[in-house]
Structure 1
Amino acid sequence: DAADTQQTYTLSNICRIFNNLYANNHVGFCGSIKNSPSDFVVTEIDILGHLVSKTKTDSLSDLSEILSEQNSFSQKHHKRLRTTSLLEQCVKDEHCDDQYDNALQTSECLLSAKESKDCVAKPVPDCEMYVAVVLDSFLGKSVNELLCQFACNIKTRWSFKTEPAVYSTEFSLGPILDKKIRANLHSAIRQKYPFLMTVTKSSEIIVKENADYRELCQLVSEEETSDFLKFLDAKIENSKFTFNPDGNKEHRKAVHHFISKKFGKLLETKSFSVADCSDQQNVVIMVRFREKNCSRKRTADCQQKQELYTAFILQKENLETLEAIGFLSSELGVLPSDFSYTGIKDKKAITYQAMVVKKVTPERLKEVGSTIERKGMKVSNIHSVHQHLRLGQLKGNHFDIIVRDLKHQGNDTSANLKERISEAIENVKKNGFINYYGPQRFGQGQNVHTDQIGLALLNEEMVKAVKLFFTPEDTDDPVNQAKRYFLQTEDAKGTLAMLPDFKVREKMLLRALNRYGVNCEGCTRGWMSIPHSMRIFYVHAYCSKIWNEAASYRIKTYGTNVVAGDLVFSQVNVDENPSLSDKVHVVTTAEESANKYIIQEVVLPMAGHNVKYPNNKVGQQYHKMLTSDGLQMCRFRVPALQLNIPGCYRHILKHPHNLSYHFSDDSVKEIGTGDNHLDESKDSLCLSFGLDPSCYATVCLREIMKCDL
């Protein structure tokens, strides 16, 4: 909530919070970043690895919809438009025109077929292109090829009745922590290989042969078996499946019995007499999902199905993500909590990120386009989806950054500037950088940092947290005037009148304070009046500060050696339902001696109630830091604010992806890579790279430049 300043962010200012520690020993150079928002462009990378500014649809939600809808073309004619739009969203690609045409023709054929309770069209064949997208994107080429080989081996063993000892009966995809990715993989694998089944053991997906497939193949054809299992996996509400006509009553009875025995809780079957094209009567078995009534216990689930969600790409300039949401919620007449997103983006930048808003139609969102442009925002790729986004539901972020005012470090004259820059970049490419949380996590340049508010909340000092929240900056703009007035008078109603409308968080908190008073109860109700994602943001900022201090202590104490007591991610699953602390392994003395692990594998915990701390001096330092902040009795749960912080783990070192660079002559706007001697007054460095989720470009730049030396 700091007032927007026009100052240039220099790397020397950013570096002060990191104790002058680095992962590399090059000299570095000086420069400035964020001279203007266009010097720092951030583009979110969705879960499929696409830049969101170039993605036509919201990858996760639409892809999930495709996988679940690909067998539902046999539904009633009134769903024709919806089915066609799904195909159009996902098949409109210059390399798949034939598949698009074939899919449309198939859907038209099915939709125009005779539709009655006695005759239901069979499912459409697999939409193989989309299944391939999921498997390639989430598994990678090598694992996908191994999965294909495993599937072939299963079929070979069945065909030649080979003993199980010849081929493995299970195949592991390894630990996959994101539940949404696991769900997509389960569906994609079962659609492509219906003779296989998938199960989750902890976070690991295990693939093995489907015994039900083999058993059903003894009763019906292999094609019918595949189609039936795909229908079953898709679980489309109100969808139906019919087996081929069958005049043998005993055989039909066996099929009924098989489905009842295996899937009776989910499915129901019935035989129908239908007429074929020559009016001959035949009997078919129809399968459908059992109806589920919305009981009182399921009221919330039923309401959720009826919720309206609209996805879009938000482009913002010189705005915090939460501030942009404040503007949007005010214009659309919804709550800030109705917006979901995968992560918070830089303020002093131009950023592109995926968002979903609840209770707003695409048409309504388009109507406010011209209004929000005046606030530095644009919305694009507006379309309906069926669910919200979650924090961390992305593959990372791509950065295009210009570093200006390039200079040598101090009196460094041992090499020319271009050599220094190239050396620095190549070192970070090779060795990575210390994965600190960046200064924007804490409110760089503010009088009160967000981690201070988070600590007060964890200690349940609600009034103190409110006072810190309303601490003004040194500027005299209307927002800081209002904050200053509140601290002097505690007049919540008067402060409300002074604040501009876009300060949504402040206004929500003040309304509660006006109603309940500036006391412990009133302040608690005030914090509860703002969205959960905003409340927990401050607590996470405190945990981030502790992680940064622990990382600095770890590097100073042990360097880049992996020592006994360090934590690495576990390679084996402890049991069926492991806790978060079971996901890491404590390095033993024998493993240290054998150099079994490298520093890139070491993780440190984000403080929480369900994490394991290092079993060495670093763990002791964690407890010392938490105790000094009065948190020795805190279990990282604040029931009064409905905050539950289990914690997580974060790698000490990270590497940038696809790092490239060139030099630009600012005076003529041309690339000047041919000259080995840069003009310090004219030349700028243009960098392009990607980072994993929750990694900070400013921290990567800090490692490259070392401008605080």
Structure 2
Amino acid sequence: MKKKKKNNYSIYRRKLKQGRWFEISTTQSTMSSLKENREFSEENVSNKRPKLEPSASLKEKYMLSGIKERDVGITEYITRDETGFTGILKHRYTDFLVNEIDTDGNVIYLENVGFEPKKRPSREANLCKKQDVAPCSIKLSEEHRKKLESYFGEDDVKKLINLLVTGDNLVSQRTFNEKEQRTKIHKLLREAFHGKLETITSEANRFKIALLTKGSRRNKADSVIVEHSLGKPTEFLHVTMLKENKETMEVASTLSRLLKIPVKWISYAGTKDRRGVTVQRLSLEKMRVERVSHLNKVLRGIKLGSFAYAAQPLKLGQLNGNSFLITIKDVRCGGVLEKILEKRLQTLDSSGFINYFGMQRFGTFSVPTHIVGVQLLQSNWKGAVELLLSEQELVMQDSIESRKIWKQTHDASLALKMMPSKCNAEYAILKKLSNERKQDGNYTSGSYFNAVMQIPRNLRIMYGHAYQSFIWNSVASKRIELFGLKVVEGDLVLLTQDEADEDLMHQANSQFSDDNEEVEAEDIKKSEYVRAKVVTKHEIESNKYSVFDVVLPTPGFDVIYPSNQILRQVYIDLMAKDGLDPFLMSRRVREFSYAGTYRHLLGTVSGLKHYVRRYSDNNESLVRTDLELLKLSGTLNQAEGTHPLLESKRIVEDKPGDKIAVIIKMQLDVASYATMALRELMRTETSRRGDTHEEE
């Protein structure tokens, strides 16, 4: 058996002006081709990356009608068969249920809400019980005796001395209404009895006194200790969250505000879109279950449960995928629905779907996020700001007046007064610009840059990612159009774990030592070094790979591109239209320097099932959420024991009516979009302007 030839990496570095280094890794076998690509691209694209202002026609195109699939590179299907059906997606947010799948392959359900704590008796209750303690002997000085008798009387002092032997408790006959006096008495009792007594004041201002035992709490606050089955609190609290019609980052912001903690203390394995009912795990730093659980009383559209303490937080990508239950309403087709469904489902199950980035990746407003991303990648800060603040057909109604003011006056302070704070990016921009000085009546490029950098970081980065997604979609469409489902020479596949590990060890032991840097091999995280290689003619002839292994890169400084010149040229030509170059993706502003990632050309579906239901009103719910199943089972507030979630009750029975709904149940990998799987199934447009559309 032939030994596999090593696919060694070489590493070179590109230093940016601000002094930060980017490591760019590539296989030695592709170094020469990269050099050729670099020279080739420079002949076609200027390195200066000219700033291209958004044209009026471009603005009109999106602002008046919104975007469709073809506008973001989505044009192809797995098969040429055009038979499908139409229907309404997400008419209600309850028509789109998503449950996260953890790294062990378990679907995450909301199995309980809150927990039922057991309350230990308070100090006052404990002091009312006779203490089971060994007698102790303390000789009371004459001075202390006289002072105590002046406060409590002779009878109570005798009882005080006696309780040292009997362990009985004492409630003073006299009351003490002055706080200053009570403080003196507490201090006197500690001195006289050498700290052997536990003393508190009742609501009636009488002293309750008992022997101090090992379990007593010497705390001024007579608080209650809570016991539960979660064990000893640790650094992180993990919790299952169900949210309705909210984005994950929106929920994180709400929790940070209510808990008065930094939002960075809240982490999750993946973000979930707004329009749907989604269930996922969160981790919170330095939080106790009692405090977090209490939020269920005030949260709206959010429920928290299934609490567990853990030593580590959740991290992005720490999941295996998502389970979907999607209701498609008002289904119509040109033939027998069941026959069409059977055929389309069989194709989806066996051939998968083109793994496009879905329409939600490109925003819900008229100006797509990838168009803003172009301006940021061009370092055209003013262009990005003008797009975000522009008048548009599809925007939050509350922001229309502010946009008009900005267009007419460019007065940031005045526009800010009319911009709702929930428009995060626009509000942040206007707030910053309102504090910037104009020069000759205009804001400077530096002012626009400062305003852009006030946009929440996750949003700033999202715009560039959307542009990368647009390029990936366009190249994927061309790849399917030209070569279909065949593996061709020049395609890319991911290195196996063994190949990647072997090359990483080589990097750590040879390349880094050549640079006189001490790097331990075990410090290199395997998951952070996903690498690809070019498929050779020999590998194709031996059928080593299938089309499900093929990947395409999003543009970045740390990826290799297919060696197929046609696909390579698609990257170059598309980005040249925007004054960009796929081989020059580093920027002076580090967070706009994109490394790029590899994404599988095809997505796969598992656990595929379908149900057909009749109904009469599109506002009817045809499935039950986890929360509804909990209420149905009567275990809403039960913290312990298993909960079967009554899965048999998840989908409602047929109802009288002339409308038809198709309910799809399936599981997808982490990065796949359910709407793109549905697109392949239904063979219809998934944008809001298409036949298969979302309704508010």
Say yes or no: TM over 0.5: yes
Conservation of the 8 A alpha-carbon contact between 1:472 and 1:481: no
- 1:492 pairs, out of 403, 412, 415, with 412
Bigger RCO of structures 1 and 2 (CA < 8 A, at least 6 apart):
2
Mark the CA change 1:585 to 1:642 in structure 2 (over 3 Å): closer, same or farther: closer
Does structure 1 residue 589 correspond to structure 2 residue 537? yes
Mark the CA change 1:43 to 1:357 in structure 2 (over 3 Å): closer, same or farther: same
- 1:400 pairs, out of 313, 316, 325, with 325
Specify the alignment match of 2:156 in structure 1. Answer: none
Matching residue's letter, 1:354? R
Look up the SS of the partner of 2:477 in the other structure. Answer: helix
Specify the alignment match of 1:520 in structure 2. Answer: 445
Specify the alignment match of 1:683 in structure 2. Answer: 660
Specify the alignment match of 2:573 in structure 1. Answer: 624
Q: Identity rate of aligned residues, in percent?
A: 31
Matching residue's letter, 1:601? D
How far did residue 307 of structure 1 move? 11
Partners in 2 of 1:505 and 1:363 — Cα distance? Answer: 34
Deviation string, structure 1 residues 211-263 (Cα, Å, up to 9, x no partner): xxxxxxxxxxxxxxxxxxxxxxxxxxxxxxxxxxxxxxxxxxxxxxxxxxxxx
Mark the CA change 1:687 to 1:605 in structure 2 (over 3 Å): closer, same or farther: same
Specify the alignment match of 1:276 in structure 2. Answer: none
- 2:607 pairs, out of 638, 642, 658, with 658
Partners in 1 of 2:291 and 2:592 — Cα distance? Answer: 33
Mark the CA change 1:581 to 1:478 in structure 2 (over 3 Å): closer, same or farther: same
Partners in 2 of 1:386 and 1:510 — Cα distance? Answer: 41
Conservation of the 8 A alpha-carbon contact between 2:110 and 2:240: no
- 2:398 pairs, out of 478, 482, 498, with 478
Does structure 1 residue 349 correspond to structure 2 residue 276? yes
Partners in 2 of 1:56 and 1:680 — Cα distance? Answer: 35
Deviation string, structure 1 residues 155-201 (Cα, Å, up to 9, x no partner): xxxxxxxxxxxxxxxxxxxxxxxxxxxxxxxxxxxxxxxxxxxxxxx
Specify the alignment match of 1:555 in structure 2. Answer: 480
Specify the alignment match of 2:504 in structure 1. Answer: 576
Mark the CA change 1:389 to 1:514 in structure 2 (over 3 Å): closer, same or farther: farther
Matching residue's letter, 1:645? Y
Matching residue's letter, 2:598? Y
How far did residue 428 of structure 1 move? 0.5
Look up the SS of the partner of 2:434 in the other structure. Answer: helix
Conservation of the 8 A alpha-carbon contact between 1:308 and 1:361: no
Q: TM-score, normalised by structure 2?
A: 0.57
Mark the CA change 1:330 to 1:53 in structure 2 (over 3 Å): closer, same or farther: same
Deviation string, structure 1 residues 288-336 (Cα, Å, up to 9, x no partner): xxxxxxxxxxxxxxxxxx9965443332222333344444444444555
Mark the CA change 1:603 to 1:346 in structure 2 (over 3 Å): closer, same or farther: same
Counting only pairs closer than 5 Å after superposition, residues 333-348 of structure 1 correspond to structure 2 as 333-348=260-275
Mark the CA change 1:369 to 1:503 in structure 2 (over 3 Å): closer, same or farther: farther
Mark the CA change 1:16 to 1:641 in structure 2 (over 3 Å): closer, same or farther: closer
Mark the CA change 1:389 to 1:423 in structure 2 (over 3 Å): closer, same or farther: same
Partners in 2 of 1:615 and 1:443 — Cα distance? Answer: 32
Specify the alignment match of 1:286 in structure 2. Answer: none
Look up the SS of the partner of 1:626 in the other structure. Answer: helix
Counting only pairs closer than 5 Å after superposition, residues 118-133 of structure 1 correspond to structure 2 as none
Specify the alignment match of 1:535 in structure 2. Answer: 460
Deviation string, structure 1 residues 61-104 (Cα, Å, up to 9, x no partner): xxxxxxxxxxxxxxxxxxxxxxxxxxxxxxxxxxxxxxxxxxxx
Mark the CA change 1:648 to 1:542 in structure 2 (over 3 Å): closer, same or farther: same
Partners in 1 of 2:657 and 2:490 — Cα distance? Answer: 47
Does structure 1 residue 23 correspond to structure 2 residue 84? no
Deviation string, structure 1 residues 414-440 (Cα, Å, up to 9, x no partner): xx2210011101110011000000000
Mark the CA change 1:468 to 1:381 in structure 2 (over 3 Å): closer, same or farther: farther
Q: TM-score, normalised by structure 1?
A: 0.56
Partners in 1 of 2:310 and 2:417 — Cα distance? Answer: 37
Partners in 2 of 1:332 and 1:347 — Cα distance? Answer: 22
How far did residue 338 of structure 1 move? 4.6
Deviation string, structure 1 residues 565-588 (Cα, Å, up to 9, x no partner): 011112323523578898212112
Partners in 2 of 1:343 and 1:42 — Cα distance? Answer: 12
Counting only pairs closer than 5 Å after superposition, residues 166-315 of structure 1 correspond to structure 2 as 309-315=236-242
Matching residue's letter, 1:352? V
In terms of mean alpha carbon deviation, does 553-562 or 457-466 score higher? Answer: 457-466
Aligned pair count reads 437
Specify the alignment match of 1:51 in structure 2. Answer: 107
Specify the alignment match of 2:550 in structure 1. Answer: 602
Matching residue's letter, 1:591? E
Specify the alignment match of 2:245 in structure 1. Answer: 318
Instruction: Return the index of the structure with the highest Cα Rg.
Output: 2
Counting only pairs closer than 5 Å after superposition, residues 371-386 of structure 1 correspond to structure 2 as 371-373=298-300, 376-382=301-307, 384-386=309-311
Counting only pairs closer than 5 Å after superposition, residues 317-466 of structure 1 correspond to structure 2 as 317-358=244-285, 362-373=289-300, 376-382=301-307, 384-408=309-333, 412-413=334-335, 416-444=336-364, 446-466=365-385
Mark the CA change 1:667 to 1:628 in structure 2 (over 3 Å): closer, same or farther: closer
Partners in 1 of 2:682 and 2:363 — Cα distance? Answer: 22
Conservation of the 8 A alpha-carbon contact between 1:337 and 1:532: no
Conservation of the 8 A alpha-carbon contact between 1:606 and 1:648: yes
Mark the CA change 1:545 to 1:19 in structure 2 (over 3 Å): closer, same or farther: closer
How far did residue 543 of structure 1 move? 0.5
Look up the SS of the partner of 2:448 in the other structure. Answer: helix
Mark the CA change 1:344 to 1:684 in structure 2 (over 3 Å): closer, same or farther: same
Mark the CA change 1:595 to 1:636 in structure 2 (over 3 Å): closer, same or farther: same
Matching residue's letter, 2:79? N
How far did residue 689 of structure 1 move? 0.6
Does structure 1 residue 636 correspond to structure 2 residue 564? no
Specify the alignment match of 1:649 in structure 2. Answer: 598
Partners in 2 of 1:482 and 1:384 — Cα distance? Answer: 46
Matching residue's letter, 1:516? E
Runs (4+) of structure 1 exceeding 6 A deviation are 578-582, 668-671
Look up the SS of the partner of 1:576 in the other structure. Answer: helix
- 2:95 pairs, out of 22, 36, 39, with 39
Look up the SS of the partner of 1:565 in the other structure. Answer: coil
Conservation of the 8 A alpha-carbon contact between 1:44 and 1:394: yes
- 1:613 pairs, out of 556, 561, 572, with 561
Mark the CA change 1:466 to 1:388 in structure 2 (over 3 Å): closer, same or farther: farther
Question: Which structure has more helix as a fraction of its residues?
Answer: 1
Specify the alignment match of 1:296 in structure 2. Answer: none
Matching residue's letter, 2:588? P
Partners in 2 of 1:16 and 1:505 — Cα distance? Answer: 23
Mark the CA change 1:313 to 1:604 in structure 2 (over 3 Å): closer, same or farther: same
Mark the CA change 1:337 to 1:479 in structure 2 (over 3 Å): closer, same or farther: farther
Specify the alignment match of 2:124 in structure 1. Answer: none
- 1:544 pairs, out of 459, 466, 469, with 469
Q: CA RMSD in A?
A: 3.4
How far did residue 29 of structure 1 move? 1.6
Conservation of the 8 A alpha-carbon contact between 2:556 and 2:583: no
How far did residue 485 of structure 1 move? 3.0
Matching residue's letter, 2:674? A
